[in-house]
Amino acid sequence: MGSSGGHSYRFPVKRLPDGRALLNLACGSRMNWAWTNLDFSASARLRKHRLLTRILRALGFVSDLRWRRLGDVDPEIIAWDLSRGIPFPDQTFDVVYHAHFLEHLPREAAPVFLSECRRVLKPGAMLRVVVPDLELQATSYVRSLKAVENGDPNAGIQHQQAVHELFDYIVRTEITGTAEEQRGWRRWLERKIRGDAADAGELHRWMYDRFSLSDLLESVGFRQVGQTSAIASRIPGWESFHLDAGEDGSEYRPESIYLEAES
């Protein structure tokens, strides 16, 4: 993953009414249109080519479900491969946020990516990182194992689910969006074109707990690293963006760790 600090790529930066610039990296389907949203999913690339997508839909290549979901994608989303770095100048943003992305990077690539995050943040600005919680998954597995040993009649299903949570993202083969949004021949064709989960970067390459993630952030120069929750944040107005929780406060990904740090 190379730095983007010296290249000529430039994209528009959105700003809130108060002047803040907020960046959501690898946003997937979870985004707020007031932010600068960046992703390299099929949805991001299709959203940037609406006419082509209409033609593909008319020809039957885009399912009705995918078409409806595309309507929720920011029309100004930036389709960008983060292995090329973050395509903005130094000290551009007041906030950088990414959720359930870091674990998809090889361990050695994570510090490079986080250094890029720090590069595009203003001094003293905020990084918010959300990843699956290794501690929670491991604890759930051990608890389910003990329940099986103790003869709990419901423990078998719990144990299977715990094992699934630990290993599914390491060994799965099909891309999530393909499995959920396409059916029949469309699904077969998309698998031929896009490849498998490894080709799409969906597999987990490393896992973190609150200690290892804090250490990683500090190692690349972030300060004031602290754990928070889906609805709590040092980012003013965080709850109104609904990126980690719904309007009722319920977590979108309750298996997560939430960490924030200053650049």
Which has the minimum average pLDDT: 12-21, 105-114, 178-187? 178-187
Average pLDDT over residues 151-156: 89
List pLDDT tens digits, range 61-92.
Answer: 887 887 888 888 999 999 999 999 999 999 99
* Whole-number Å distance between alpha carbons of 75 and 71: 8
Average pLDDT over residues 30-58: 89
The pair phi, psi for residue 191, each rounded to 5°, is -65, -35
Give the pLDDT of residue 181.
61
What count of other Cβ atoms lies within 10 Å of the Cβ of residue 250?
Answer: 10
Give the pLDDT of residue 7.
52
Domains of the chain: 22-262 (3.40.50.150)
List pLDDT tens digits, range 154-206.
Answer: 899 999 999 999 999 898 877 666 555 666 766 667 666 677 778 778 899 99
Query: In this model, does residue 130 exceed pLDDT 80?
Result: yes
Average pLDDT over residues 135-142: 95
* Whole-number Å distance between alpha carbons of 96 and 118: 9
Give the pLDDT of residue 177.
62
Query: In this model, does residue 93 exceed pLDDT 90?
Result: yes
Strand ranges, E, within 46-112: 78-79, 93-99
* Whole-number Å distance between alpha carbons of 235 and 109: 26
* Whole-number Å distance between alpha carbons of 194 and 187: 10
pLDDT mean across residues, the chain: 90
Q: With pLDDT > 70 as the criterion, what percentage of the chain qualifies?
A: 90
List pLDDT tens digits, range 210-252.
Answer: 999 999 999 999 999 999 999 999 999 999 999 999 999 999 9
What's the first-to-final CA gap in the chain, in angstroms? 20
